[in-house]
Amino acid sequence: MKLTDAEYGKMAEEASAPSKSWRNIPKAFLIGGLICLAGQGLLDFFGAVGFPRDEAGAYTSVTLVLCSAILTAVGLYPKAAKHGGAGTLVPITGFANAVVSPAIEFRTEGWVLGVGTKVFAIAGPVILYGTAASILYGLIYWSCGLIF
């Protein structure tokens, strides 16, 4: 059976369920907002304990990543992501989930060929291009400082 691009597109559109934006957007906003509220609570807590603001921010990030990794490992973060959609992907916790999920999925293949090779399957390009972009922007900033 040979399909043209138009026929395939029509079949794919018919098979796809329509998005319920009126329901999904508020849920994403709520879940993402709760994650950010937890982050702000942690930042305030670390500040109240006596850490300087920059250290409190670092401890907040580490705590959020650790909590996300643990919640992913026990299966709770994916359940929240099912309902929260992009609201769970945008904060730093979404990045931690993206690193931990493939590692959990491929752990049966062993530490080297499973976890070791798959842990950065999703997050690897983000790290690579984020690092490359920061170097490029740094060079541009440095060059502008020399010229102006």
* Residue 138: inside a domain: yes
Tell whether 13 is covered by a domain: no
Residue 83 within a domain: yes
Q: CA-CA distance, 93 to 99, in Å (whole number)? A: 10
Predicted confidence at residue 41, as pLDDT, reads 96
Q: What count of Cα atoms within 13 Å lies in the side-chain half-sphere of residue 10?
A: 5
Number of domains in the chain: 1
Q: Is the pTM of this model over 0.85?
A: no
Asked if residues 27 and 84 have their Cβ atoms less than 8 Å apart, the reply is: yes
Q: What pLDDT, in 10s, does the model give residues 56-102? A: 999 999 999 999 989 988 888 888 888 888 888 767 888 788 778 77
The region of weakest confidence among 26-30, 85-89, 134-138, 142-146 is 85-89
Question: What 3-state DSSP class applies to 74?
Answer: coil
> Do you know the residue count of the chain?
148
pLDDT of residue 138: 94
Domain span at residue 82? 22-147
> How sure is the predictor about 114, in pLDDT bands with cuts at 50, 70 and 90?
low
40 within domain boundaries: yes
How is residue 2 written in tokens? 């040979």
Find all residues with CB under 8 Å of 88, minimum gap 6, and list them: 28, 31, 32, 35, 77, 80, 81, 94, 97
* Structural domain contains residue 61: yes
Quote the pLDDT of residue 58: 94
In a domain, 139, yes or no: yes
Q: Report if residue 5 sits inside a domain.
A: no
Closest CA to 101 of 117, 122, 125: 122
